[in-house]
Amino acid sequence: MVRDARPKDLDTVCAIWLSGNLDAHAFVDPGYWRSHAREVREAIAQAEVLVYEGKTGQILGFLGLVEDGIEGLFVSGSCRGQGIGKALLDAAKTRRRRLTLSAYAKNEGALRFYRREGFVQELVQTDPGTGEREIRMRWPSQEG
């Protein structure tokens, strides 16, 4: 079930963020993610965060929104491929008429997922923090 995050969820959400970045972005020095954990924790605490809660009450994934921007969508490693990311994204689509996000060009799985979900590429840019190319995407593909 998707619900709004509660303050007590912050530790779990941050742990999913870190492990998700380490898993999905092996092309980025792991120290980069660890060195940014504190500032990301503060940003997550200020964002609109949706969590996916499993049947036992455990948080299995989350999506963070700042205005119309998806700042992160992460699912616990053992739970990927089970529709959790789609459920979170669908919930965000009900809350916003327009969404944007950035995904690393080397994260081909994420790019396939977002394209399948109706996102289209706006531009290619370089992430100044990592030096990696990232794809800026938007949904819906046409303004309506």
Tell me the pLDDT tens digit for each residue of 35-68.
999 999 999 999 999 999 999 999 999 999 999 9
The reply to whether 82 falls in a domain is yes
Strands of 41-98, DSSP E: 48-53, 59-66, 69-75
CATH classification of the domain holding 60: 3.40.630.30
Structural domain range at position 45: 2-139
In a domain, 144, yes or no: no
Domain contains 77? yes
Give me the sheet containing 2-4, strands edge to edge: 2-4, 48-53, 59-66, 69-75, 99-104, 133-139, 120-126
pLDDT of residue 116: 96
pLDDT-based confidence at 141, cuts 50/70/90? low
Residue 93 lies in a domain: yes
Q: Is residue 47 part of a domain?
A: yes
pLDDT category, 78, cuts 50, 70, 90? confident
**Is residue 105 within 8 Å of residue 124, measured between CB atoms?**
yes
Residue 142 pLDDT more than 90? no
Number of structural domains in the chain:
1
